[in-house]
C-alpha cells in the first residue's frame, strides 16, 4: 500500500474556470506558507526587529507582539522552522500554512468592493501600502493588508474560506469580478 497524502485546498471544487481576468480579480493562493509568530513576553521589540520583511517573507501585524508571516519562497514545511531559528527565544512560531487561506483582491474597484463589508477607511492616505490589520469583513475576521494602490491581501481561517469568497462575490455585485486560483 502506497502512502501519499495529496493536499486538498479549502477552495478546491468551489471555483469554476474563467476565460480571462476581469476588471477586478480575486486570486486564491495555493502554496503560500503561513506562520504565526508570538513574541515571547517582553521580547516584542526584538522579535519585530528580526521580522523586518526581507523578500523571503513578509510579516503582517495581527495584534501586539503577534504577526502573521507569509512567504512565497519558503515551503509550508520549512517556514516555521526557518523563523524559529531566526527568532530563537524571542518568539514562539506556529505553522499555519494549512490553517489559513490567502487571497489577493486587485483591480480598480478593490477598495470600493471591500468597503461593502469592511468598516476601515481604505483611502490610500489612511491605509497605505504595507499596512496590515485584522478587520471584520462581513461576519468574518480577516487579516487585511494593502499590497498596492489597487490590491489587497486577505488572510482568513481555512474553515471560513468558502464563506469569505461567497461574501466577496456578493460585495462585488455592482462591480466586475473574476475569481481563480493564482498561477505561479
Partner 1 sequence: MTAYRLASGGLVDRSHAVRFSFDGKSLTGHAGDTLASALLANDTLLVARSFKYHRPRGVVTAGPSEPNGLVTVGSGARRDPNTKATVAELYDGLEARSQNRWPSLAYDVGAVNNLMSRFLSAGFYYKTFMWPAAFWEKVYEPLIRRAAGLGRTDLPRDPDSYEKSWAYCDLLVVGSGPTGLSAALVAARSGLRVILAEQDFVLGGALLSETTPIGGEPTYVFARRVVEELQNSPNVTLLPRTTVFGWYDDNVFGAVERVQKDVAVVDAAKPVERMWRIVAKHAILATGAEERPLVFGGNDRPGILTASAVSTYANRFGVAAGKSVIVFTNGASGYRTARDLAAQGVEIAALIDSRMASGDVAPTGVRLLHGSSIVDTKGRYRVRAVVADRGGFEELIACDAVAMSGGWSPVIHLACQRGGKPVWSEALQAFMAPDVGAGLVMAGAAAGHYRLSECFDDGARKASAIVEALGRPAAGLERTAIGEEADPSFTALWHVPGAKSKAFVDFQNDVHTKDLGLAVREGFGHVEHAKRYTTGGMATDQGKLGNINAIGILAGMRGVSPADVGTTTFRPFYTPVSFGALAGTSIGEHAMPTRRSPLHGWAARNGAVFIDAGLWYRSSWFPKAGEKTWRESVDREVRNVRENAGLCDVSTLGKIEVFGPDAAEFLNRLYCNPVLKLPVGKARYGLMLREDGMVYDDGTVSRLGDQHFLVTTTTAMAGGVLSHMEFAAQVLWPDLRVRFLSVSDQWAQMSIAGPKARTILQAVVEDDISGAAFPFLAAREVRLKGNLKARLFRISFSGELAYELAVPAGHGEAVADALMRAGATHGICAYGVETLNVLRLEKGHVTHAELDGRVTPDDAGLGRMMGSGKPDFIGKRLSTRFGLTAADRMHLVGLKSMEVEKDMRAGAHLLKDGAKPSTINDQGWVSSTCFSPTLGGHIALAFLKSGRERYGEKIVVWDQLRGVETFAEVCDPVFVDPENTKLMA
Partner 2 sequence: MASLISCPHCGTRPKEEFLIRGDATPVRPAPMAAEEAWHDYAHLRANPRGRIREHWQHVAGCRRWLVVERDNFTHEVFGVTDAAKAGEGAR
49 binds, among partner 1, partner 2, none (CB under 5 to 8 A by kind): none
Q: What angle is formed at CA 120 by the lines to CA 59 and CA 40, rounded to 5 degrees?
A: 30
According to the binding rule CB under 8 A, does residue 42 interact with partner 2? no
Closer to partner 2 at the Cβ: 168 or 179? 168
Q: Does 72 bind partner 2 (CB under 8 A)?
A: no
Residue closer to partner 2 by CB (options 91, 177) is: 91
Q: State yes or no: residue 115 binds partner 2 (CB under 8 A).
A: no
Answer for which of 66, 72, 150, 162 binds partner 2 (CB under 8 A) is 66
In order of 60, 83, 148, 154, 168, the CA distances from 52 in angstroms are 10, 12, 18, 20, 30
Separation CA 63–CA 15 (nearest Å): 32
Is 129 near partner 2 (CB under 8 A)?
Answer: no
Minimum distance from CB of 172 to partner 1 (Å)? 10
Q: Which does 15 bind (CB under 5 to 8 A by kind): partner 1, partner 2, none?
A: none
**Residue 40 binds partner 2 (CB under 8 A):** no
141 counts as binding partner 2 under rule CB under 8 A: yes
User: In which order are the strands placed within the sheet that holds 33-39?
Assistant: 58-63, 66-71, 33-39, 91-95
Amino acid at each position: 500500500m502506497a502512502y501519499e497524502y495529496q493536499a486538498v485546498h479549502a477552495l478546491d471544487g468551489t471555483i469554476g474556470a474563467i476565460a480571462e481576468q476581469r476588471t477586478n480579480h480575486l486570486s486564491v493562493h495555493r502554496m503560500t506558507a503561513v506562520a504565526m509568530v508570538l513574541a515571547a513576553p517582553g521580547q516584542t521589540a526584538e522579535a519585530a526587529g528580526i521580522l523586518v520583511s526581507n523578500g523571503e517573507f513578509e510579516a503582517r501585524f495581527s495584534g501586539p507582539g503577534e504577526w502573521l508571516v507569509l512567504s512565497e519562497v519558503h515551503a509550508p514545511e520549512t517556514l516555521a522552522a526557518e523563523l524559529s531559528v531566526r527568532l530563537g527565544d524571542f518568539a514562539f512560531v506556529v505553522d499555519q500554512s494549512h490553517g489559513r487561506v490567502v487571497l489577493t483582491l486587485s483591480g480598480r474597484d478593490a477598495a470600493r468592493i471591500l468597503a461593502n463589508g469592511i468598516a476601515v477607511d481604505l483611502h490610500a492616505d489612511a491605509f497605505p501600502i504595507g499596512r496590515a490589520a485584522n478587520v471584520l469583513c462581513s461576519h468574518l475576521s480577516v487579516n487585511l493588508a494593502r499590497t498596492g494602490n489597487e490590491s489587497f491581501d486577505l488572510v482568513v481561517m481555512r474553515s471560513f474560506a468558502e464563506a469569505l469568497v461567497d461574501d466577496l462575490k456578493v460585495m462585488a455585485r455592482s462591480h466586475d469580478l473574476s475569481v481563480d486560483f493564482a498561477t505561479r
